[in-house]
Structure 1
Amino acid sequence: MADSRRCYAALLNGLARRNYFGEKELSNGVLKEQIYPKLSDEEFEHLVTKCTALIKSMVAVDMDFNQLEAFLTSQIKKADSGMNEERANAVRKFWKNQRNKIHDVQVQQTQWNSCLKQMSWRIDLKSQARHIEQIDKPTAIVELMVSSNSQTTDDESKKAKVFHFEMDDKKLDQVLSNLHEIKEQISNHSQQ
């Protein structure tokens, strides 16, 4: 049967690869030829429309598996949805394998600014300077790795830039306090 679970899963994966992972060469013609060669063009276009809407619905709310089950149950009960248990199983497997990947791509596409990839620091003890013989003051040497997240494909723009700088103990305390506040805010928002 042309509409087997395997073919339906292949169509879902093909649409995800085209719509979310940038594989534009996977046109409807290519997908039809490789997955559903016996369907008419009209039937295939209708199936692609249904599958695209299905994937968009799941992606829009980043459905967890409980939400997915409720969604698929409602789709199976709808007479005009074309969803049956065999297709629902294909959707479950597809979503299990692709959910995090699609989510990561969506997040990446919505970031316009540079982002902090890594932060490391260490404490050094300054022992002398050009004009002062003995200082004995602690300083923090900080290294930030920032990557550009521009939407271009230029490899140069995707490379991470590394920034080095020093801070005295007062400035370090202030930065650590700010980082602690950021951590608390993230924890508060992620628990809601």
Structure 2
Amino acid sequence: MADADSQRCVSALLNGITQRLYYGNTEITEEFLKNELYAEMTEDEFRALHDKMRSLLKSIASADMDQAQLEAFLTAQTRKQGGGAVSPEQAAALARFWKTHRSRVRESLLAQSRWEPALRGLKWRVDLHTSASRGQVSSSPVALVELELGRTGESSEFVCVEFDEQKVNLVLKKMAELQESIDSIVHRS
């Protein structure tokens, strides 16, 4: 296969993998890609190539590599010994593909990682309670928090919560514990 043909097939393979992996196009299957692009390859050869390209693409996408990072990564991949090495044609196709598709893949990853309904907005203020429920006068501060929640393409719902000083301290304590848990996980890896 000529270099241009090889790069074209690798680019098409990367596009097919991206369509399925990041854009949810279930019509693009491994079998379809093999029959359309690499009909002359055995199943095992194609599976090895497909898995290698998919793995590389996932690594590049999860790191959201810029051009300098990508160049260093691909250089390291081409210098590998054995079956895991990337050919210069494959590296060139990956670089060209990522330059074109980086922003769209990133948007897809962000969309896949969002929880629904999402927090769209938050407003808060501190007020003084001037009267209590039984006519008693109280001047304790309260925090009023308004959360705007909604799903993509739908109108928002609003939730209003009132916290006294004790509840605010409890929420802050829980948030600190959550931050400590996240930090311990991040620093372990």
* Fold conserved between structures, TM > 0.5: yes
TM-score range, shorter chain: 0.5 to 0.7
Q: 1:164 aligns with which of 160, 164, 183?
A: 160
Mapped pair 1:176 → 2:172: yes
What is the match of residue 185 of structure 1? Answer: 181
How far apart, in 2, do the equivalents of 1:170 and 1:130 lie?
Answer: 18
How far apart, in 1, do the equivalents of 2:46 and 2:107 lie?
Answer: 21
The amino acid across from 2:17 in the alignment is: L
How far apart, in 2, do the equivalents of 1:160 and 1:72 lie?
Answer: 50
Cα distance per residue 1:167-190 (max 9 Å; x no partner): 111111121122123223323432
Cα distance per residue 1:82-105 (max 9 Å; x no partner): 842121122244456277457547
**Residue 16 of structure 1, CA deviation:** 1.4
What is the match of residue 152 of structure 1? Answer: none
Within a 5 Å distance, the mapping from 1:1-192 to structure 2 comes to: 1=2, 3-27=5-29, 29=32, 36=37, 41-43=39-41, 49-58=47-56, 59=58, 62=62, 65=69, 69-74=75-80, 77-78=81-82, 83-95=86-98, 97=102, 100=106, 104=110, 107=113, 117=119, 120-129=123-132, 131-132=134-135, 134-144=137-147, 162-192=158-188
How far apart, in 2, do the equivalents of 1:102 and 1:68 lie?
Answer: 23
**Residue 125 of structure 1, CA deviation:** 1.9
How far apart, in 1, do the equivalents of 2:46 and 2:155 lie?
Answer: 37
TM-score of the two chains, using structure 2 as the length reference: 0.61
TM-score of the two chains, using structure 1 as the length reference: 0.61
Would the aligned equivalents of 1:121 and 1:140 in 2 still touch at CA under 8 Å?
yes
The amino acid across from 1:183 in the alignment is: Q
Secondary structure of the structure 1 residue equivalent to 2:11: helix
Unaligned runs of 5+ in 1: 149-154
Secondary structure of the structure 2 residue equivalent to 1:42: coil
Cα distance per residue 1:26-82 (max 9 Å; x no partner): 35548966xx5xx6x2339677534420144333795675665433432xx43x668
How far apart, in 2, do the equivalents of 1:10 and 1:43 lie?
Answer: 16
Distance 1:83 1:70, change over 3 A: closer
Secondary structure of the structure 1 residue equivalent to 2:144: strand
**Percent of aligned pairs with the same amino acid:** 26
Would the aligned equivalents of 2:143 and 2:163 in 1 still touch at CA under 8 Å?
yes
How far apart, in 2, do the equivalents of 1:160 and 1:31 lie?
Answer: 45
How far apart, in 1, do the equivalents of 2:111 and 2:45 lie?
Answer: 24
How far apart, in 1, do the equivalents of 2:42 and 2:146 lie?
Answer: 54
